[in-house]
Amino acid sequence: MAAPRENVNLLFKLYCLAVMTLVAAAYTVALRYTRTSDKELYFSTTAVCITEVIKLLLSVGILAKETGNLGRFKASLRENVLGSPKELMKLSVPSLVYAVQNNMAFLALSNLDAAVYQVTYQLKIPCTALCTVLMLNRTLSKLQWISVFMLCGGVILVQWKPAQATKVVVEQNPLLGFGAIAVAVLCSGFAGVYFEKVLKSSDTSLWVRNIQMYLSGIVVTLVGVYLSDGAEIKEKGFFFGYTYYVWFVIFLASVGGLYTSVVVKYTDNIMKGFSAAAAIVLSTIASVMLFGLQITLTFALGTLLVCVSIYLYGLPRQDTTSIQQGETDSKQRVIGV
């Protein structure tokens, strides 16, 4: 009876990855439309904040349905949220680290050429794999490491655009840019794997963990709103520039965030990286149809590398989706894919 159950688990993982890929691709295309249309641009900081609020509300709703009883739902919130400040502090770590990552990425982009930025930022893929090995005591085969670096190269080629000459001279500090992107890469790997470790180190509901993280996420993003656009928001309003398309982007970002946590819970952060790479390919293809983007040789080669790397990483191997409790336990049990 074990084989059918393993097949169901595999199908569920593939379903989660497929949905996350499609949602991420749709989000990228919709976001590009909202940022390139003729309408007045909205404040992206407020959109991020609202996304966190919606993710919190959706997680609360799913937890309420999961408990199936109002009394148990209230008890769960009281015990795991109001009565667990230590757990809230634990889940505030990835929120703060992600905030640092976003700011460092912006600083790096301001001090590096776009092509250099997109190449170096893809180091977050092998960095995530390294954090997975170091923080979760997992091992990757040589073939898996090859597929990780192949994925990194494929994403670089898919996003590659030749440098274009410009008459506008921007003062840049390459040393500061490389330092910022190094911090952003480390933050990306650490925060993702840290959240995965918290999720898989206890039997606490995924939705409880999401509520704990999104509460701190709202606080962090509100601080970002105030520091980045506080003066302009006072003048123009919190929802300045919002249209139906902007709300659609926010909805996709919210659903994508929830699905990301599901993927991390039931697969791992490395597979999340592969899903994100596939989403990049899909969104680029959609951009060809919707925005007239031209397919280049580097894009075709990058797409091929991404597809091959996904296939190689998915070959039969030791399961990397659960945290090993110790060397003795791992020797005593056989883990299937």
Cα–Cα distance for residue pair 144/313, rounded to 1 Å: 5
Residue with tokens 């509901």: 205
Whether residue 320 contacts residue 270, with contact meaning beta carbons closer than 8 Å, is answered with yes
pLDDT at 28: 64
pLDDT at 194: 92
Q: pLDDT of the chain along its 337 residues, tens only?
A: 444 555 446 666 666 677 777 776 676 667 666 666 545 578 878 888 898 899 999 999 998 888 888 888 888 888 877 777 888 888 889 888 888 887 787 788 778 776 677 777 778 889 999 999 999 888 888 888 999 999 888 888 877 765 554 444 456 788 888 898 899 899 989 988 998 898 888 888 888 888 988 888 898 889 888 888 888 999 999 988 888 888 988 898 888 888 888 888 877 778 777 777 777 777 777 766 766 667 778 878 888 888 888 778 867 655 555 555 444 344 344 333 3
The encoded tokens of residue 146 equal: 């090859």
Collect all residues with Cβ–Cβ distance below 8 Å to 206 and sequence separation of at least 6.
199, 261, 262, 265
The whole-angstrom distance between residue 214's C-alpha and the CA centroid of its chain comes to: 14
Whether residue 310 contacts residue 274, with contact meaning beta carbons closer than 8 Å, is answered with yes
The C-alpha torsion from 61 through 67 and 68 to 73, rounded to 10°, is: -70
pLDDT at 124: 86
pLDDT at 53: 92
H or E stretch at 269: helix 269-291
What angle, 0 to 180 degrees and rounded to 10, lies between the N-to-C axes of helices 297-313 and 142-159? 160
3-class SS of residue 37: coil
